[in-house]
Amino acid sequence: MPDNGTLGINRARLTSETTRLEKALAVIGVLIIAALVYGVVTGAYETFVFLISLVLLVGISWLWSVAVDRMFHRLRDWNRSQKPKPVADDSARKEAAVRIVQLRPVTDGPASLSLASLIRSGHLPLVSVSTESADPAERIEALKLEAAEALKALAKEMENAGRGEAKAVYAAARQYDPFDPELEEKAPSQVQEIGPDELSRVLALLRRSDVDEALPALEELSNSSSSGALLYSLALCNGAAGRHGRAAEMLLKAAEQGAESAELREALGILYLQGADTDRAIKQLRASVAMDDALAGSHAALGAAFLETGNTQEARQELEEALSLDPDFSPARMALGRLLYEKRDFAGASREFARVVTSDPDNVNLLFNTAAAEVAAGRYSEAIARLSPIADEVQDSQIVQLLAEAHEKSGNKVLSQRYYARSAELTPASAAQSPRLKLAASFREEGRLDEARLEAEAAVQDNPRSAEALTELGLVQEAQGDADAALNTFRSAYQIDRSSAVAGTQLGRFMVEAGRLKDAAGYLKSAAASSGASADTHYWLGEMHLRSGKPLLAINALREAARLASRPRGDISSALGKALLDAGRAQDASEELRRARKLSDQPEVLRDLGYAYHRTRNYQDAVRSLRDYLQERPDAADAAEVRELIQKLS
C-alpha cells in the first residue's frame, strides 16, 4: 500500500489535473454554445459536429491517460512494498527472543512500599498532632512541641555563641518536651512538666518508634479519649502489624475527629494499595498530594497504583516526581525499575534495581529481580556475579535456573548444565520439566545424546501431557537416527496440544525434510498462527512455500522469521534470497544473498548468487560466484548445468 506521503502527492496531482480540465471544459463549452448558435442561425451544423467530436476525443484521451497513470503508480507502490524490508536492529531482535521472567514482589525491607517499611524509614510519622485540632489536649501537645523546638533552636544559637544562659533555655524547652533525649542530656535536673503527662509520654515513645512500650498505653488512652491523633497513631500500629482493615477504619475515624492530614491520606492510600483496592488507593493518594505536594511517599504510592492499572505514563510521572523529592527513596526506584522492565527497557530496569540493592543487599527477591533484568539486558556476567554467592545457599529453584540461563547465554555450558540439573532437583516433579528440558537440549546440542535422552524421558515421566517434553524427546530420538520413533513422538506431542507452536513447528519441519509438503502445510500454518510462534516456525513455513513453488508466500514468512530471530541467521537470508530470485526480483535477491554469504558458508548460496547476478546481467560476478560454487562442490548434482552456464557466460 502507498504511504500517506504518496497518497498526498497523488491527491495534489489529481486536484491540479481536475482544475485544468474544468478550465478546458469551460472554454470548449463556450465554443460549443457559440457553434450551436451559429448553426441555428445559418443552418450549417458541420462546425458543431466537429467540435463535439473533438470534445469526445479529448475526453477519451484524458480518461486513458488517467487510467494509465493510476495503473503505473499502483504498480510502483506495490513493487516498493515488496522490496526487502530492513532487518530489525539487534535490540529489537534481542527483545523478541528474551524470556520474560516474572518479577517477584518485594514486600519487606527498605524497598517495600508498605506501611511498616515507610514507618521504619521515617517517611510516614507515627504521630500527627495539629494546633488546629478540635481536641484541646491535641492542640496543647502540638503547641508544646512547637515551643520546645523553638526554645531548643534558641538554646543552640546561644550555646554556639558561648552564652551561659543556654542551659536555662534548654531547661525551659524540656518543660514542654520532657521526653526528648537531647533535652534530658542538656538539662538533666528535674523540671515541672506541663500538660497531660500520659499523652505526652505515649506520643514521645511513638516519636522514638518505641511501639512495643507505647502500644498498651495507646490502646488504653484511645478507649477513654476521642483524640484523633491517638486514633491515627493506633491505626498505623495496626497497619504495620498487618491488620489493614482495622487500620483503615481507624484512619477514617481519626479524620472525622480532626486528625486530617496529608500523612493520614497517604497511609490510607497505602493500606488500600496493599489490599489491591487500587481505585480507592488512587483517590486517597491524590487527596494526600493535593494537601502536600512534597511527600515523596505519596507520589511513589500513587505511581505504583497507576502502574497496577496499566497507566504507565502517569505512573512514570509520579515516580519521577517522588525521586526528584528524594533521590534515595528506594520504594519509588523499585517501582520505576518494575515499570521499565514491563516496557522492555531491561537496561534501565537493571540500573534502577541495582541502585535499590545497595539499600537492602540481603533481600533475595530484590536480588532475583535485579538479576532477571540483567539477564534480559544481556549483562550475563553481572547477573552471574550477583547470583553465584547465594545460589548454593538458598533452596530456590528459580534463582538456580536463572543462574543456569546466565551461564548458558555467556557460553559456559558446563556450569549451565550443573545449575539446570540442580534446579530440576529443587523443582517439584510436577513442575520440573522446564529445567530438565533445558538440560536435555544442552546435552543434545553437545552431542551427548544418551544423557539428553535420560533427561527428556524424565521430563516426560514428570509430565506425560507436556507437548514441550515430548517434542524434546522426539528431537533426541531424531538425533540418534530413530526417525520413526521421532515422528511418532512429534505426532503425540501435537495431538496432546494442537496449539503448541513448538510441537507444530517440529512436526512440520520433519514433514518438509521428508518431502511431504502438503502434510507439513497444516502443521506449520497452525504453529505460525499461535502466540508462541518462533523464528524457526516461520522459517520452515517459508521453506515449505518455497519448495511448493510459492515464492511470494515464502518471502512473507521468511521476513517474519528474520524479524523474530534473536540474531541474523544465514539460513533465513539464504532462503529469502532464493525466494526473491524465484519471484523474479533478481536485484533484491542478490542483495539478500550477499548478506547470506556473510552469515553462512553453504556453497548453495554461491550458486544462487551466481544465478542472481546472471539475471541482472552482471556476468563477470556471476561467473566468479558459479566457479567458486563448483570449487567447493565439484560433485554437486547440478554441476554440469552450472558448468554449461559458465561456458555460455564466458
Q: Confirm whether 163 is domain-assigned.
A: no
For the chain, how far is it from start to end, CA to CA, in angstroms?
42
Kindly report the pTM of this predicted structure.
0.61
- pLDDT-derived band at 9 (thresholds 50, 70, 90) equals very low
CATH number of the structural domain spanning residue 353 = 1.25.40.10
pLDDT digits 0-9 by tens, 56-81: 666 666 666 656 666 655 555 555 44
Note down the domain range covering 16: 4-59
Q: Confirm whether 615 is domain-assigned.
A: no
Pick from 330, 359, 388: which residue ends a domain?
359
Lowest mean pLDDT among 6-15, 175-184, 244-253, 434-443: 6-15
**What is the rounded average pLDDT for all residues in the chain?**
78
Query: If we measure between CA atoms, which residue out of 525, 528, 474 comes closest to residue 496?
Result: 474
- Mark whether 115 and 54 lie in a shared domain: no
- Mark whether 271 and 349 lie in a shared domain: yes
- Mark whether 283 and 344 lie in a shared domain: yes
- In terms of pLDDT, which residue wins out, 650 or 520? 520
Rounded distance, CA 148 to CA 179, Å?
A: 11
Query: If we measure between CA atoms, which residue out of 446, 529, 454, 460 comes closest to residue 489?
Result: 460
- All three cell numbers of 113, joined, read 512500599
Q: Confirm whether 508 is domain-assigned.
A: no
pLDDT above 90 (res 545): yes
pLDDT digits 0-9 by tens, 272-320: 888 888 899 999 899 998 988 888 889 999 999 999 988 989 999 999 9
CA distances from 590 to 128, 293, 540, 609, 625 (A): 76, 62, 22, 6, 11
3-state helix, strand and coil shares in percent for the chain, rounded to the nearest 5: 75, 0, 25
Q: Confirm whether 325 is domain-assigned.
A: yes
Rounded distance, CA 25 to CA 38, Å?
A: 19
* Residue owning grid cell 532437583: 425
- pLDDT-derived band at 633 (thresholds 50, 70, 90) equals confident
pLDDT above 80 (res 351): yes
8-state DSSP, 85: P
pLDDT above 90 (res 500): no
Burial class (CB in 10 A: 0-12, 13-18, 19+), 53: exposed
| Residue 572 confidence (pLDDT) | 92
| Residue 63 confidence (pLDDT) | 66
- In terms of pLDDT, which residue wins out, 494 or 57? 494
| Structural domains counted in the chain | 2
| Residue 648 confidence (pLDDT) | 85
Q: Confirm whether 132 is domain-assigned.
A: no
Give the DSSP per-residue string, 237-304: HHHHTT-HHHHHHHHHHHHHTT---HHHHHHHHHHHHHTT-HHHHHHHHHHHHHH-TT-HHHHHHHHH
| Residue 191 confidence (pLDDT) | 47
Q: Confirm whether 316 is domain-assigned.
A: yes
Query: If we measure between CA atoms, which residue out of 392, 402, 340 comes closest to residue 365?
Result: 402
Pick from 324, 359, 394: which residue ends a domain?
359
Rounded distance, CA 612 to CA 597, Å?
A: 13
Q: Confirm whether 414 is domain-assigned.
A: no
Q: Confirm whether 305 is domain-assigned.
A: yes
Q: φ and ψ at 108, to 5 degrees?
A: -145, 165
Q: What is the pLDDT averaged over residues 400-406?
A: 89
Give the DSSP per-residue string, 526-561: HHHHSTT--HHHHHHHHHHHHHTT-HHHHHHHHHHH
Non-local CB neighbours of 588 within 8 Å, separated by 6+ positions: 83, 84, 580
- In terms of pLDDT, which residue wins out, 610 or 141? 610
* Residue owning grid cell 497507576: 306
- pLDDT-derived band at 82 (thresholds 50, 70, 90) equals very low
8-state DSSP, 119: H
Q: What is the pLDDT averaged over residues 377-402?
A: 88
Q: Judge contact between 500 and 471, C-beta under 8 A.
A: yes
Non-local CB neighbours of 623 within 8 Å, separated by 6+ positions: 610, 646, 649, 650
Pick from 331, 359, 387: which residue ends a domain?
359
Q: Judge contact between 423 and 456, C-beta under 8 A.
A: no
